[in-house]
Structure 1
Amino acid sequence: MSNWVKTILFLIGSAVLTHWIPTAFFRNLDTMVHEFGHAVVTLALSGKVMYIELYRDQSGVTLSTMTKSWAIIPVSLAGYMTASMFAWFLFSAYAKGKQRLGLQVTAILSILSLVLFVRNGYGIMFLVGFIVITVVVLALTPKWLRDFYYLLLAFLCLEESVFGPISLVLYAAQNSGKAGDATNLANHTGVPAIVWAIGFTLFALWCAKQAVSAFLGRNKGAARRSRPAAVSSYRE
């Protein structure tokens, strides 16, 4: 079975499994990372971030001002691409047995978002709650529970990072003026919004393929290590 087929089946399976449990609260992590990506690139290009808002429906917005008109292009690209790469990072860390590091990075990003950017009521409530839960998991829970929590976040980020751009393709096809980052890119480049949305989707799928390969590679390695070593015999 090809890696692409495994990736698609993996995404469908994770979407089904994660919808069986109440995960709406934690899905905002992907939104936070998306908006954090916009904010960091804005600051890197000498812009100013006014605020970030996170909403209950897992949507978000970053309000910023730029001194250079062309900077809106990398800023608009940053959101979905950052979310996709973050999901890949979580699975890569898992493959290397560095779940604690992954949770520490997640907590740090959340703290920075809370202190520097997020200003609406729900966004602050989400970040405070998420940071507290993550710190408690890091400090007080047994390894099996910490690993479960880590994989829950990783699978949710992977799912959201792929299905978000796919939804953007549908929005762009129905109304190109209401396709978020794709619309911003279309307005500043002349390239249709649906083309940008498809580009985000392809990049997200490529990152998902790398993430799934890392996850399956770790599991295969663990299975091999758990098998008893073969004992060879020689008889004259």
Structure 2
Amino acid sequence: MDSLFSMFEQLFQTQPSPDYPIVVATGLVAVAAVVVNVVWRRVRNVITIAHEGGHALVALLTGRQLHGIRLHSDTSGVTFTRGRERGLSAILTLLAGYLAPSLLGLGLAFLVGRGLIVLLLWVSLALLVAMALFIRNLYGLVTMLITGLLVFAVTWWAEPDVQATLAYLGVWFLLIGGVRPVWEVHRQRLRSRDRRSDPDQLAGITPLPAVVWLLFFAMVNLACLALGSQLLIPGIW
């Protein structure tokens, strides 16, 4: 019982935030990772994991059957579910993808802002393990394994100041990186007649056109970025 209480106490222990310049620097590094194409192509898988994880989680919560998730080397992904083709569960499942990285970033920013770095790391690791159970291709498994091992290494061996710095960097990246895919799918729709994207599928099962869903994604993700920034740097706005 004492060891269990000790583990629980450690999980919810608070850590001081990094110095202000470090918090700002992690944000700038995240901006560079999202804006610089050569870097973005190498780290975008993190956003794809959150995107497909969002589809999967909402599918389960709304009663759909989850048949698997595939992550691809071009940083795309697909989540296979079964259920009604129309209706609330289908709409919410499709909505979740492009919103998941930003909403996850906002939730983790809440934990970071309160110094709950250890809790953030273990929550992140638990989500990765849960998602890995549904991966159905080799590349996806390798991607999840590498990502999970990196998070575990930071959780288990890194010093508290390193944990805090990397936690801020990860949260910034989710918040900022969640915005770019919306712009990417918009550009893709302009260049191609392929209409299999999430906003196009939403347009097919709702009265609203795809462009309205794209604007909705953009507004929510920008709002998450603004709120998350306020949590990470109080008084920024």
TM-score between both structures, scaled by the size of structure 2: 0.78
Is the contact between residue 30 and residue 157 of structure 1 (CA under 8 Å) also seen in structure 2? Answer: yes
Q: Is 1:85 aligned with 2:66?
A: no
Secondary structure in structure 2 of the residue aligned to 1:56: coil
Q: Is 1:111 aligned with 2:113?
A: no
CA–CA distance in structure 2, aligned partners of residues 165 and 20 of structure 1: 15
| Structure 1 partner of 2:56 | 39
Aligned pair partner of 1:16 in 27, 32, 54: 32
Is the contact between residue 34 and residue 78 of structure 1 (CA under 8 Å) also seen in structure 2? Answer: yes
Secondary structure in structure 1 of the residue aligned to 2:179: helix
1:77-106, Cα deviation, whole Å (9 max, x unpaired):
111222211011122211111121111111
Q: Is 1:95 aligned with 2:109?
A: no
1:173-225, Cα deviation, whole Å (9 max, x unpaired):
44564361101100111321111011100000001110011111189xxxxxx
CA–CA distance in structure 2, aligned partners of residues 145 and 11 of structure 1: 15
Secondary structure in structure 1 of the residue aligned to 2:178: helix
Is the contact between residue 37 and residue 79 of structure 1 (CA under 8 Å) also seen in structure 2? Answer: yes
Amino acid at match of 1:47: R
Q: Is 1:59 aligned with 2:76?
A: yes
- Segments of structure 2 that go 5 or more residues without pairing to the other structure are 1-25
Is the contact between residue 27 and residue 169 of structure 2 (CA under 8 Å) also seen in structure 1? Answer: no
Is the contact between residue 182 and residue 196 of structure 1 (CA under 8 Å) also seen in structure 2? Answer: yes
CA–CA distance in structure 2, aligned partners of residues 136 and 183 of structure 1: 40
Q: Is 1:141 aligned with 2:154?
A: no
Is the contact between residue 177 and residue 183 of structure 1 (CA under 8 Å) also seen in structure 2? Answer: no
| Structure 2 partner of 1:152 | 169
- Count of residue pairs the alignment pairs up: 210
CA separation of 1:145 and 1:110: change in aligned 2, threshold 3 A: same
- Segments of structure 1 that go 5 or more residues without pairing to the other structure are 1-9, 220-236
Is the contact between residue 52 and residue 63 of structure 1 (CA under 8 Å) also seen in structure 2? Answer: yes
Note the 1:127-138 alignment, pairs <5 A: 127-138=144-155
CA–CA distance in structure 2, aligned partners of residues 151 and 62 of structure 1: 28
Is the contact between residue 46 and residue 67 of structure 1 (CA under 8 Å) also seen in structure 2? Answer: no
CA–CA distance in structure 2, aligned partners of residues 20 and 168 of structure 1: 15
CA–CA distance in structure 1, aligned partners of residues 138 and 37 of structure 2: 28
Larger radius of gyration: 1
| Structure 1 partner of 2:178 | 161
CA positional deviation for 1:168: 2.5
CA–CA distance in structure 1, aligned partners of residues 62 and 103 of structure 2: 20
Is the contact between residue 68 and residue 81 of structure 2 (CA under 8 Å) also seen in structure 1? Answer: yes
